[in-house]
Amino acid sequence: AISAPKLAVRVQAIRGDRAAIEFRGFPPKHRDDLVKALGDKITVQESDWNCVLMMTPNHKVKPFDDVRVRRALTLAIDRWGGSKYLSRIAIVKTVGGIVYPNHKFAATPEELSKLAGYSKDVKASRAEAKKLLKEAGVNLNFELHNRGVDQPYKVVGTWLIDQWRKVGFDASQIVSPSGIWYAGLRKTKDFSVSMSLNCQSVVNPLIDVSKWQSADIAGNNYVGYIDREMDALWQKMNRTGDAAEARATLRKYETRGLWGKAHWGVTHWWFKINPHRSYVKGWKQAPSHYLNQHLDQVWLDK
């Protein structure tokens, strides 16, 4: 096995046949390069990934205790335009809410477009963001606390900085090794806004979104809010036996989390691209890099 933080090392390992398969995921360009170089010697499996990158404003740090500032953060982001360009260079692609894309409980594109921060009229959204910031009258200088991993953290983080500057935030980025980044996010919580993620295994939306509950319930709620309405909605949608009611309740939970209180901000869902040598047989891509790694049903047929 080769475990390497450098993407180029992993790509060359596949190309040079020192490794037969990539389990986490390559960006589109590297997929295309491998296909061009290896032809029918390479096979590619692709799907949406049960992993979403999020921007995380610390509710305990001013001015992000002000919902107007948190709303401005999300209004500044052109998610639809970002998908078009980021999906060419990063392992992210799909615009979505808090639910795994294309699941029956996920918001449809039409439902998303009605949610503030997801409008395709970016000019209007950014005008509203500037208005909110003017009303808040706050210092807009802050650092994005990000993880020192290129894909997709640093790529998306750099894009976010540019997005926020368009509405007046004086944002910059501090990149730390994974251990330091996780410690800041989970323990010391000494950040203003951090990149974070919600990566799950088996797709189960009602459970997957548990981190959006209050911080005294959800151990992975790193932003520190207490919101009993969110908690009540989560309990309701997980206790009903009616799928339509669960979906409708989930929409309320999502709307409150993304806009009503703007607790978090979803950027894009990851997109899983797994190239492997065509002699690798029996491996089927799962929607998560946590699944199907036992490998007892995989064989190499050279």
Residue entry with tokens 């199907």: 292
Tell me the angle at which helices 122-136 and 67-75 cross, rounded to the nearest 10 degrees.
160
Average pLDDT over the chain, rounded to whole? 95
Strands 193-199 and 141-147: parallel
Torsion of CA 180, 185, 186, 190, to 10 degrees: 90
Q: Which residue, 76, 119, 74, is CA-closest to 260? A: 74
Whole-angstrom distance, CA of residue 16 vs CA of residue 273: 19
Which residues make beta-bridge pairs with 94?
269
Specify the pLDDT at position 292: 87
Whole-angstrom distance, CA of residue 148 vs CA of residue 237: 36
Specify the pLDDT at position 95: 96
Is the model's pTM score more than 0.75? yes
pLDDT digits (tens, 9 = 90+) for 57-116: 999 999 999 999 999 999 999 999 999 999 999 999 999 999 999 899 999 999 999 999
Q: Which residue, 57, 49, 98, is CA-closest to 207? A: 98
55 three-state secondary structure? strand
Specify the pLDDT at position 4: 87
Specify the pLDDT at position 217: 96
Whole-angstrom distance, CA of residue 150 vs CA of residue 247: 35
Specify the pLDDT at position 83: 95
Q: For residue 287, which amino acid is it?
A: P
DSSP letters spanning 130-180: HHHHHHHT---EEEEEEES-IIIIIHHHHHHHHHHHTTT-EEEEEEE-HHH
Whole-angstrom distance, CA of residue 282 vs CA of residue 302: 13
- Spell out, as residue ranges, where the chain has pLDDT lower than 50: none
Specify the pLDDT at position 139: 82
